[in-house]
Amino acid sequence: MDIHTFFLLLSLLSMLTPSSSLTLVPHHLCEQSLEKQRCVSHVSELLTSNDDVQNLTVLHSFLMESTSHIHKAMYKSNSIKQWSKNMNILKNTTPTSRDQVAFFDCEKLLELSMHRLGDSMMALRSNSNSTRIPLESQHDAHTWLSSVLSYHVTCLEGLEGLTTRAFIEADLENLISRAKTSLDMFVAIFPPKEKDYEEALVIDEFPSWVASEDRKLLESSSSVKDVIKPNVVVAKDGSGNFKTASEAVVSAPNNAQRRFIILVKKGTYVEQVNIGKTKSNLMLVGEGMDTTIIAGSLNNKDGQPISISGTISSDDPGLILKDLCIQNTAGAQKDQAVALRANEDRTVVYRCRIEGFQDTLYAQAQRQFYRECIIAGTVDFIFGDASTVIQNSKIIARRPINGQSNIVTAQKRSYPKENTGTSIQHCDIIPSPELGPVIGRIKTYLGRPWGSFSRTVVMESFIDKHVDPAGWQVWSSDEDPMVKTKTLYYGEYENKGPGADVSRRVKWSGFHVITNRADAFNFTVGRLINGRAWLPSTGVPFDVGL
Point out the residues that are catalytic.
380
Residue 275: how many other CB atoms lie within 10 Å: 26
Rounded distance between C-alpha atoms, residue 530 and residue 137, angstroms:
10
10 Å CB burial of residue 255 (0-12, 13-18, 19+) is exposed
DSSP count for the chain of H helices, then E strands? 12, 28
CA distance 419 to 423: 12
> 219, 539 in Cβ contact below 8 A?
yes
Furthest-apart CA pair in the chain: how many Å? Answer: 71
CB 52 within 8 A of CB 25: yes
DSSP per residue, 423-487: EEES-EEEE-TTTGGGTTTS-EEEE--SSTT-EEEEES-EE-TTB-TT-B---TTSSSTTSHHHH
* CA-CA-CA-CA torsion sign (48, 51, 57, 58): positive
CA distance 280 to 369: 17
HSE at residue 281, side-chain half, CA atoms within 13 A, is: 16
CA distance 430 to 535: 27
Strands 273-275 and 312-314: parallel
User: Is the Cα dihedral 144, 149, 277, 2 positive or negative?
Assistant: positive
CA atoms within 13 A on the CB side of 474: 16
Selection from 455, 400, 467, 456 nearest residue 428 by Cα: 467
